[in-house]
Amino acid sequence: MKKHYIIFAGLVLMGIFYPQMFPGYLSVAITLLLYAGWATAWDILGGWAGQVSLGHASFVGLGAYFVAVGTSHYEIAPWWTVLMVLFAASLVAYLWGRLTFKLKGPYFTLSTIAIAEIFRLIAINEGWLTGGATGVFIMTLPEPFGLDLFSRQVNYYLALAFAAITVLVVMLISRSKFGYQLRAVREDEDSAMASGINPTTVKLKAFMLSGALTALGGGIYAIFLSFIEPHIIFYLLLSVQIALTAIIGGRGTIWGPCIGALLVVGSGEIFRTTFAEANMLIYGLLIMVVVIFMPRGIVGEPARYLIRRVYAKRAQS
Amino acid sequence: MPSALRADGITVKFGGVVAVNDVSLDVEQGKILGLIGPNGAGKTTLFNALTGFVTPQAGRIYLHGKEITRLPPYMRTRVGIGRTFQTERPFEELTLLENVLVAAFLKEPKRKKAERLAMDVLEKVGLADRYDQPALDLNLARRRRLELAKALAVQPSVLFLDEMMAGLNPPALKGMIGFVRQLTDQNLTIVMVEHIMEAIIALSDHVIVMANGSVITEGLPGDVIEDPRVITAYLGED
């Protein structure tokens, strides 16, 4: 476990100096960090607790809309709206989970798509609150300590902090009682109950934490884009991308979602410039290769192989 | 000795089928109750009703005098019931230590202490040397022992064993019988569903024989297996 903290410290340190080294590539890095954070947050529910959600765009949307509508309609500073949305997202996740955790496996996943769609429709149709289909512009933002929140540099550090927080949360969870309860529920709910674990409570906690963290990233996303519209931010595609990022990287691992983000966002960027229109094709192929040859993801598969090989060796000697 | 587990008039129906029909039992603390009967007799259903995985339509269940009839399975674990599953259900992705750790966390929320408890239990069942092996790769006898370790790590007062002996080879069977015997020396109460007569006779203080959902007879193991009704239930009438 110690090595994870060393890797973590190293990455954060690199992250801090990145803007000085590659000032021209800030936007890509921000996208990458946001996806790393979202996928890590998604993975608390999807990977550690084993409940695959294809509705996490709802939480991105909640976070983004709270911040955008807060500043542009009500002149509430983003740090207050972010604080509010942490509570709001937890509450939404709680009610959502209460409603749907009776469903298992793919049925739960389908229900998340349906509920996410409700959020999208609300965002489009309740124009008085959300600006409707045209979306919301963020025209002005406060300047805490003289920081320009519109600047790419500041956006970058916000995204870095977001990604770091989510990874840190997962690192803390992974060794804790809660982390083992999550894994137990994922593996076998009956057996978890025989160990005194209430699966519904554990899943609800995971969903609330996952949703709140995702919403936090959504708030930062809104500041980064400074214009949000429901068709993008509440759309199924975003949910799918968040889930895929975590799945490709390796579900239920600390670094899997980050590696997934590096691959998905990084390759997306490279393919877009070199293959132009064929980029979605390459992207699709990449996903298929990973899913077929590494069903546990890029981090999950070798980790598992190593553990088993080390053990097999010891058993022989 | 005070009663550890008591059940009065348990009835479980699945649709129109009466799986368990008005079964009562009472186990004293530190004793072993054996539950036998041919396949389909309702043993496992009764077992699941007592541990909370099936809701009985009628009857009441008491643990150390407190009613637990309406408690969900995880609450029953918290008040002192431990159980194994007939088809072992290890958390396959986790190591043996982590498997037991999940259960150990119930009474020891601190990681260090929980880990020590889990290791102690693994030591007891003889799996300590494999603590960092993934549970997926275990053979049957070891899966059984892991299942037992998980049930023991919640530190139960009443332990339910569902066909722990089935399919074990003679030395493994002998080992398991010896191990279960040891557990009652520590005042643990045990309810076991079992097909292996050798184990039932060696271990049980009291035996209940079920057929078609009802108790057909009960008593000391030696008396029960010679009861003509039991022989008929197992072999059919001639």
Chain B residues close to A173, C-beta within 8 Å:
none
* 8 Å CB contact of A184 and B150: no
Q: Is residue B30 part of a domain?
A: yes
**Based on the structure, what is the number of domains in chain B?**
2
Q: Is residue B86 part of a domain?
A: no
Same structural domain for residues B215 and B203?
Answer: yes
Query: Structure pTM?
Result: 0.90
Q: What is the CATH number of the domain that holds B207?
A: 3.40.50.300
Selecting from A196, A304, A307 the residue whose C-beta is nearest the C-beta of B77 gives: A196
* 8 Å CB contact of B150 and A192: no
DSSP annotation string for B167-178: T--HHHHHHHHH
Q: Residue A130 in contact with residue A230, Cβ under 8 Å?
A: yes
Q: What is the mean pLDDT of chain B?
A: 90
Query: Residue type for A137, please?
Result: F
Which of B155, B172, B195 terminates a domain? The answer is B155
Diameter of chain B measured on Cα atoms:
61
SS3 A13: helix
Q: How far apart are CA A154 and CA A139, in angstroms?
A: 17
Q: Is residue B103 part of a domain?
A: yes
Which helix (DSSP H) or strand (DSSP E) does residue A309 occupy? helix A297-316
The HSE-up count of residue A281 (CA atoms within 13 Å, CB side) is: 5
Same structural domain for residues B218 and B100?
Answer: no
- Residues B202-206 have a mean pLDDT of 93
ipTM of the complex: 0.90
B11 vs chain A: nearest CA distance in angstroms? 22
Q: How far apart are CA B59 and CA B52, in angstroms?
A: 13
Which of B155, B177, B197 terminates a domain? The answer is B155
Q: How many CB pairs under 8 A join A and B?
A: 88
Q: Is residue B149 part of a domain?
A: yes
Selecting from B73, B92, B106 the residue whose C-beta is nearest the C-beta of A187 gives: B92
pLDDT in tens, A3-32: 889 999 999 999 998 888 888 888 899 999
Q: Is the pLDDT assigned to residue B136 strictly greater than 90?
A: no
Q: What is the mean pLDDT of chain A?
A: 89
* 8 Å CB contact of A192 and B102: yes
Q: Is residue B85 part of a domain?
A: no
Which residue in the block uniquely carries the two structure tokens 């408690």?
A: B71
The residues on B that touch A, with CB distances below 8 Å, are 51-53, 72-75, 77-78, 82-83, 85, 89-94, 98, 101-103, 105-106, 109, 111, 114, 132-134, 137, 150-151, 153-154
Q: How would you label A152-176 residue by residue, b for 16+ Cβ within 10 Å and e otherwise?
A: eebbbbbbbbbbbbbbebbbebbee
Q: Is residue B198 part of a domain?
A: yes
Q: How confident is the model at residue B119 (pLDDT cuts 50, 70, 90)?
A: very high
Distances (CA, A) of A168 to A8, A11, A252, A287: 8, 12, 14, 27
Which tokens belong to B151? 């049930």
Same structural domain for residues B75 and B171?
Answer: yes
Q: How confident is the model at residue B235 (pLDDT cuts 50, 70, 90)?
A: confident
Which of B132, B155, B178 terminates a domain? The answer is B155
* Percentage of chain B modeled with pLDDT above 90: 56
Chain B residues close to A192, C-beta within 8 Å:
74, 102
Which tokens belong to A66? 């709270």
Domain that holds residue B49: 3-80+157-235
Contacts (Cβ under 8 Å, ≥6 apart) of B145: B125, B126, B127, B176
pLDDT in tens, A154-210: 999 999 999 999 999 999 999 899 999 999 999 999 999 999 999 999 999 999 999
Res A208: pLDDT:
97
Same structural domain for residues B176 and B224?
Answer: yes
Which residue in the block uniquely carries the two structure tokens 């009704």?
A: B229
Q: Is residue B182 part of a domain?
A: yes
Which one, of A224, A214, A85, lies nearest residue A154 by Cα?
A: A224
* 8 Å CB contact of B74 and A188: no
* 8 Å CB contact of A180 and B101: yes
pLDDT in tens, A95-136: 999 999 999 889 999 999 999 999 999 998 888 888 887 888
Chain B residue with the nearest C-alpha to that of A186: B91
Q: Is residue B179 part of a domain?
A: yes
Domain ranges of chain A: 2-236
